[in-house]
Structure 1
Amino acid sequence: MTGARTLDELAGPLRALRLVACDFPHLPAPNVDVTPLYPKVLRLSLHETTCDSFAAFEQWRHALAIEPGVVDFHVQCNGRTSVLVGHGAYGGVDIELTAYATVPSVDTAPVVLGVPA
């Protein structure tokens, strides 16, 4: 990147954020990230501490018309955090939708018929 970006260069994702806020006010509020590092991307993330992140992810994925086949699932933090990531387009910019959820430990996993899940 040569020189500092201007706020005008972030107009695309900021407009998309405005559209998302107007079009989907009923959906769970995500964390929002607009950065000069990726000036054509609006990032929305959902964390288990603020909502049921995977259920909220599905609501947002459906609203933004992100196809299920492009969603990636992986585990990070030594197997302690599950992550869903989907990419799509909305309002003329790229959207990155991410959800994080804590993986239940063996001690807190449900027991079915005396056998840990």
Structure 2
Amino acid sequence: MSDVLTLDGLSAPLRALRLLALDFPDLPAPVVDVSSIYPDRLSLSLHAPQGGFTAFEAWRTALGIDPNAVDFHVQCDHRTGVLSAQTEYGGADLTLTGYTEGPAGARMSGAGVA
């Protein structure tokens, strides 16, 4: 028996990605990550210019993720805000992450831009 994961071992996140493309063709295109390290996970990340989590919010709403289940934190550069949430979709564990930068020269805190 081989310990090598085959492409079939990634069927859950690949199936979920296919369903997302069919169910939400008009949503903003995310960065998509499927990994043999976490074969049941599909990661979607959305990178927005200054001050915007609009694309993240569109996906969060479409996926039915409760706003209270979203985590906000600031990266160590104090300029990049990050929203993240997890849900199950199409048989895969889906991770949704949004990134945005604060205005030039501003520093973000856990509460937003300072």
Give me the TM-score of the superposition, normalised by structure 2.
Answer: 0.85
Match of 1:6 in 2: 6
> What amino acid is the match of 2:60?
R
The answer to which of 12-21 and 77-86 deviates more is: 77-86
Match of 2:109 in 1: none
Match of 2:91 in 1: 92
Structure 1 unmatched runs, 5+: 108-116
* Identity in percent: 56
| Aligned CA-pair RMSD | 2.0
**Separation (CA, whole Å) in 2 of partners of 1:7 and 1:54:** 33
Match of 1:17 in 2: 17
Q: Is the 8 A contact 1:47 1:101 kept in 2?
A: yes
Number of residues of Structure 1 aligned to a counterpart in Structure 2: 106
Instruction: Tell me how far 1:78 sits from its aligned partner.
Output: 2.1
Question: What's the secondary structure of 1:87's corresponding residue?
Answer: strand
1:66 aligns with 2:65: yes
Structure 2 unmatched runs, 5+: 107-113
Q: Is the 8 A contact 1:46 1:53 kept in 2?
A: no
Structure 1 pair 53–7 and aligned structure 2 pair: CA distance change class (3 A): farther
Larger Rg: 1
> What amino acid is the match of 2:99?
Y
- The list of structure 1 runs, each at least 4 consecutive aligned residues, that deviate by more than 3 angstroms after superposition, is none
Instruction: Tell me how far 1:80 sits from its aligned partner.
Output: 1.4
Structure 1 pair 105–53 and aligned structure 2 pair: CA distance change class (3 A): closer
**Separation (CA, whole Å) in 1 of partners of 2:81 and 2:92:** 26
